[in-house]
Amino acid sequence: MSKETTENPVSDNEIARRAEKSIQKKFHKELFSKFAKAIVGYGLIKPNDKIAVCISGGKDSVLMAKLFQELKRHNKVPFELVFLVMDPGYSKVNRELIEHNAKILNIPLTVFETDIFDSVVNIDKSPCYICARMRRGHLYHSAKDLGCNKIALGHHYDDVIETILMGMLYGGQVQTMMPKIKSANFEGMELIRPMYLVREKDIKAWRDYNGLRFLQCACKFTEGVVADLSGSKRQKVKELIRRLESEDKGIEQNIFKSVENVSLGSIIEYKDKDGERHRFTDDY
C-alpha cells in the first residue's frame, strides 16, 4: 500500500496523480515508450477495438491498466477499455487488496466471480496449468459477453525470454510467447500482450517509487505462505539468465532476438502453422 504518515496522510487522488505523473515523466522511456512501441510494432490495437484489460492484482497487470489509461488520453486511435477482474475464489484479504489498489489508482473495475480454485483443489497433475487454462477461458467468455473483441494480459519482456529458454531446456522445442494470438475457441476474439517490451525491473522500480503493494501470488493454496520458488523451472531459468547477463552483457537481448532471426534453411525440422512437419531432407 502507499506510504503514509499519520501527520501527513496521502489522499487517494494524490496517490493516483503521482503514479500517473511518474509514468508520464520519470518512467516514460522505460514504461510508456516501450508499451506504445509494442502496440504499434505488433499492431495490437485497431480502430474501434473494445479491450478487456485483465487485472489479476499483481504489479504487471495493474501497471498495464495505468498505461492503457495514459494511452487512452492521447486517443489517436478510437478504442474502448474495460478493466476486468476475475475472482477465482480469492481470500477476503486478497480481494480487498485488489479493490483497494484499484480505488487509490482510479481504475474502475468490472469484477466477476468463478469457482476455479475449488474446481482444481483435488487435481494432482499440473493443477497450475489447468487453473491457468480455465482462467483464460473464463476471461474470454466474460470479455465477449461485455462486447469486447480483445483481452490484454500483462506478460512482460522477462516472461518472454524465460519462456523461450524454458521451451528449449525443458520442452525440447523452439517457441515463444507471442505478442498477439487469435482465439481458437472464441470466434472473433484475440489475446494481446502490450507489455511485451517492458522490463520487469522497471515495473518493480515504478511500484517501489510509488510505494505500492500488490499481490505476489493470488493462489488460494499458497496465500499467506512464503513460497520457496528455488526449485521451480521458471525460477531456475530466471536465475540462469541473470547470471549469464552479469557475465556477458547482451545475453537477454540475444535470447529475445533468437526467435526473430530464425533461418529455416538451418533448421533440421519444423512445424508450420497447420502443424505439418517439414524436414530439411525433404528438398535436400
Give the residues across from 192 on adjacent strands.
152, 180
Instruction: Average the pLDDT over 252-258 and give the result.
Output: 97
Looking up cell 493516483 gives 16
Average model confidence (pLDDT) for the chain? 89
The pLDDT of residue 222 is above 90:
no
Cα separation, 85 vs 139, whole angstroms: 8
Cα separation, 167 vs 174, whole angstroms: 6
Supply the pTM of this predicted model: 0.89
Would you state the pLDDT for residue 87?
A: 86
Would you state the pLDDT for residue 122?
A: 65
Instruction: Average the pLDDT over 224-228 and give the result.
Output: 42
For 70-96, the pLDDT digits (tens) are 999 987 889 999 999 998 888 899 999
Grid cell, residue 191, equals 489475446
Would you state the pLDDT for residue 97?
A: 94
Cα separation, 44 vs 178, whole angstroms: 11
- Written in H, E and C, the secondary structure of the chain is CCCCCCCCCCCHHHHHHHHHHHHHCCCHHHHHHHHHHHHHHCCCCCCCEEEEEECCCCHHHHHHHHHHHHHHHHCCCCEEEEEEEEECCCCHHHHHHHHHHHHHCCCCEEEEECCHHHHHCCCCCCHHHHHHHHHHHHHHHHHHHCCCCEEECCCCHHHHHHHHHHHHHHHCCCCCCCCEEECCCCCCCEEECCCCCCCHHHHHHHHHHCCCCCCCCCCCCCCCCCCCCCCCHHHHHHHHHHHHHHHCCCHHHHHHHHCCCCCHHHCCEEECCCCCEEEHHHHC
